[in-house]
C-alpha cells in the first residue's frame, strides 16, 4: 500500500542550538520511499545521519541565530507487510538469538522489566504460546489502562503506567515492552505515521521478537496494524524521540498526517482467535 505522510515542527530558538530531528520515514526492505521532501525555514546547516543498524534516520540541524524555526517533511511511502502463522511465532532461545536482538531483553530507562517481573509472571506466565502471551499483554493493557491525553509526561515509565493505569500511546507501548521483556521476550519501541488515527499524530506501538520475526502490536487498538509507516525503532522512546534539542528552545507546535494513496485498503487488527502475526520486515 501507498501512504502520503507528513510532519511539521515549529520552534522558537532563544540561543544557538542544535536539533536532532527524527521524522523521516525509514528505508527498509518492506518500506520504499517513492518521493520525499524536507524543508527548514529559515535555512540552516543540516546533515542527515543514520543509526548504526538502520533503526532510524536523523537530521542534525545547527541553528546559530535566535528566531522562529519551521520544519516540514512529506513523503510518499510504499509499504508491504506479511502475515506469519501463529505456530511459527514461538519464543526464540537465547543461545540461538542474533546479537542485535539481545539488547531488547534488558531493562531500559522507560521499560523497567526487572520491576515488573512478578506482575508479568503472575498475569501471563501460565500462557504457553509466545504469540498468545503477547496478545494477552496487549489486550490487558487496552482493557485496564485508560487512554487519557495529558495524563503523563516525558518522565513517565512503564512502572508508573501500571501503577496509575492511565497514559497515551507512548506509555501503552512502554508497558507492553516491559512486560514482554520480563517474560524473556525481546521487545522494542516503534514510532511512525499512522493511517486512520483520529486525531492525526505521531503514533507509538511496539514489536516483539517471535520466531525470528519482529511482530507489531498496538495496545491502544486505535489504528489498523497494516496502516503504519515506520519512522524509527529503539529500546524505548529515548531512542526514537521525534526531536531532541540541545540549547534554549521553546516548542510551539507538532503535527503529523498519514493518508491512503491507494484504494482497496483492508485494515488488519488482532482479534480473539487471530491465527497470524503481522511483520513489517
Q: How far apart are CA 194 and CA 112, in angstroms?
A: 27
Q: How far apart are CA 253 and CA 238, in angstroms?
A: 20
For residue 61, the Cα-to-chain-centroid distance in whole angstroms is 23
pLDDT digits (tens, 9 = 90+) for 218-238: 999 999 999 999 999 999 999
Grid cell at residue 197: 488515527
Grid cell at residue 144: 485496564
pLDDT digits (tens, 9 = 90+) for 98-131: 999 999 999 999 999 999 999 999 999 999 999 9
Q: How far apart are CA 72 and CA 13, in angstroms?
A: 16
Strands 17-21 and 243-246, bridge-based pairing: antiparallel
pLDDT digits (tens, 9 = 90+) for 60-87: 999 999 999 999 999 999 999 999 999 9
pLDDT band at 273 (very low <50, low <70, confident <90, very high): low
CB 55 within 8 A of CB 44: no
- Count of residues in the chain: 281
Residue 272: the pLDDT is 56
Contacts of residue 171, Cβ cutoff 8 Å, sequence gap at least 6? 145, 152, 156, 158, 160, 161
Residue 271: the pLDDT is 63
Q: How far apart are the first and last CA of the chain?
A: 15
Return mean pLDDT, the chain.
Answer: 94
Side-chain-side CA neighbours of residue 133 (13 Å): 28
Domains of the chain by start residue, with CATH: 2-80+244-260 (2.60.40.2250), 82-239+266-279 (3.10.620.30)
Q: How far apart are CA 29 and CA 161, in angstroms?
A: 34
3-class DSSP state of 55 = coil
Amino acid at each position: 500500500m501507498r501512504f502520503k505522510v507528513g510532519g511539521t515542527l515549529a520552534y522558537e530558538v532563544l540561543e544557538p542550538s542544535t536539533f536532532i530531528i527524527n521524522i523521516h520515514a525509514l528505508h527498509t526492505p518492506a518500506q520504499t520511499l517513492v518521493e520525499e521532501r524536507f524543508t527548514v525555514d529559515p535555512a540552516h546547516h543540516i546533515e542527515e545521519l543514520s543509526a548504526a543498524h538502520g533503526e532510524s534516520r536523523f537530521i542534525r540541524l545547527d541553528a546559530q541565530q535566535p528566531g522562529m524555526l519551521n520544519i516540514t517533511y512529506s513523503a510518499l511511502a510504499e509499504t508491504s507487510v506479511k502475515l506469519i502463522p501463529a505456530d511459527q511465532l514461538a519464543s526464540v532461545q537465547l543461545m540461538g538469538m542474533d546479537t542485535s536482538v539481545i539488547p531488547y531483553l534488558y531493562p531500559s530507562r522507560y521499560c523497567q522489566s526487572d520491576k515488573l517481573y512478578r506482575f508479568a509472571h503472575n498475569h501471563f506466565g501460565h500462557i504457553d504460546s509466545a504469540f498468545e502471551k503477547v496478545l494477552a499483554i496487549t489486550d490487558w493493557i487496552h482493557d485496564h489502562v485508560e487512554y487519557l491525553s495529558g495524563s503523563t509526561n516525558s518522565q513517565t515509565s512503564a512502572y508508573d503506567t501500571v501503577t496509575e493505569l492511565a497514559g497515551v500511546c507512548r506509555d501503552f507501548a512502554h508497558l507492553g515492552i516491559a512486560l514482554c521483556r520480563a517474560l524473556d521476550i525481546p521487545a522494542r519501541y516503534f514510532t511512525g505515521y499512522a493511517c486512520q488515527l483520529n486525531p492525526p499524530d505521531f503514533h507509538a506501538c511496539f514489536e516483539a521478537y517471535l520466531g525470528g520475526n519482529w511482530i507489531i502490536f498496538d495496545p491502544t487498538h486505535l489504528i489498523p496494524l497494516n496502516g503504519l509507516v515506520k519512522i524509527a525503532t529503539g529500546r524505548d522512546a529515548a531512542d526514537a524521540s521525534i526531536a531532541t534539542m540541545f540549547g534554549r528552545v521553546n516548542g510551539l507546535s507538532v503535527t503529523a498526517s498519514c493518508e491512503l494513496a491507494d484504494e482497496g485498503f483492508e485494515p488488519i487488527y488482532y482479534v480473539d482467535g487471530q491465527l497470524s502475526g503481522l511483520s513489517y520486515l
